[in-house]
Structure 1
Amino acid sequence: MAERMNYEVPPTRTEPNAGEALNTLLENLHKHGFIRLANDLVCANTDIAKVLVSGLNRPGSQAAIQNISLLMMALSRMPPERFNQLLMALTDGVNALSQATQDEQKQRAPGITGIIRLLRDDEFWQGISPLLSGLRAFSTSMEKSPDKPISRYSGKESHA
């Protein structure tokens, strides 16, 4: 009698293999015009390169790129939840400023007694204390002599 064969049925594929995925991607890129755009860019690369190099070779463009780089490095040091809090606070502050400037009813100056009442108002001081702390930190940072950004973020000395 013949010996029984052990045959395991291969599992059914649920996802396309790499070749099929690549063909789908290529077809979608062609369908939406990206292949034509890439071909046009490759054919016109000398013209595009001349425009890019002449645009990037200006002092203003170089300063803009450095400033964007500095902004990205500074943002990378801030946790997203803190940045979200900052954006929401800025939005609320701008909306309050806008509303206050649009109000047609002009507020009168508080006078001496009004100022004295403000000096004793705990809610006012709780609201203004973070602003004063922020101004203090800002002022301290502005008093420092500016150093090259590369020195600040890398710890290396700049020789330029």
Structure 2
Amino acid sequence: MAKATRKMVSIQPDEEQIRRRQIDKLLCVLADHQGSVKEAVILLNQLHRHGLLEMANAVLEQGENLLEVMLRQARQPGATDGIKSAIAFGQILTRLDEQMITRLGEGVYYGLNKMETEQGLRVNGVWDLLRALRDPEVARGLSALLALLQGLGQSLSEGKKV
């Protein structure tokens, strides 16, 4: 008759087996969340291309020093007003249509370009100004400016604080 086993010997996995199991678990997680991982890698690549990842790393490395400087600046007079103004400006920007902003920006760019290259209209007097008003592009731009001024005046007349 055989002796009863009283002692259990557990087999300890070696480092390579532990590492292989960890890699298998990681691959399972990657397979389960393939879309999210792909988007995260794309995001990290974009942040890196635009230098934002490097900037974020520098900010995190500075850590407490940067936070201390920011707090010191925030304590100065007028800082809270500036922060409130920035937040209000951000809220206004979220209400604007993206296509409208793009068209407006392009118009300003083209206008500044014409001004620099002196390809724009030359106005030397009142008669030149009246002649320029007959140009359809000038009339369209002036109409846009007048609509902007009308909206601004309406906003001011509603009793809103400027």
Q: Give the TM-score normalised by structure 2.
A: 0.50
Report 1 or 2 for greater relative contact order, CA contacts < 8 Å, sequence distance ≥ 6.
Answer: 1
Name whichever structure is richer in helix by fraction: 2
